[in-house]
Amino acid sequence: MGSLSRVPMLAREIFKAAICANASSLIVSHNHPSGPSKPSPFDIGVTRQLIRAGEIIGIRLLDHIIVTPTEDFCAMRESGLLAPWWPKRASEMTVGQ
């Protein structure tokens, strides 16, 4: 449950199903029912928190996608909005990172 303009996104609730499914990664999505698909500062902040939480528990957040009723969407990874917090690609990582 949320307010008129915001719904709390708690990392523990988001990762709960992924942990139960033994997932190694996930994509999260939410809607902006009455506005543009551009992520708000709150959306970006929550995504950064999810990336950090995922790093701790070993489940990589692949993307955060925002959709609208007008079939518009924003994939935050594709838009480059996650850098410099985005985890490195597996091919760029060395053992122990």
- Whether 7 is in a domain gets the answer no
pLDDT for res 4: 56
Name the token pair of 76. Answer: 């935050």
pLDDT for res 10: 82
Positive or negative: CA dihedral 40, 42, 46, 48:
positive
Q: Would you say the pTM of this structure is higher than 0.85?
A: no
- Whether 76 is in a domain gets the answer yes
- Whether 2 is in a domain gets the answer no
- Whether 74 is in a domain gets the answer yes
**Peptide bond just before 84 cis, omega within 30 deg:** yes
CB neighbours (10 Å) of residue 61?
Answer: 27
pLDDT one-digit tens code per residue, 47-76: 989 999 999 999 999 999 999 998 889 999
Please state the domain count of the chain. 1
pLDDT for res 96: 41
- Whether 67 is in a domain gets the answer yes
- Whether 75 is in a domain gets the answer yes
Average pLDDT on 31-57 reads 89
70: containing domain: 24-86
**What CATH number is attached to the domain comprising 50?**
3.40.140.10
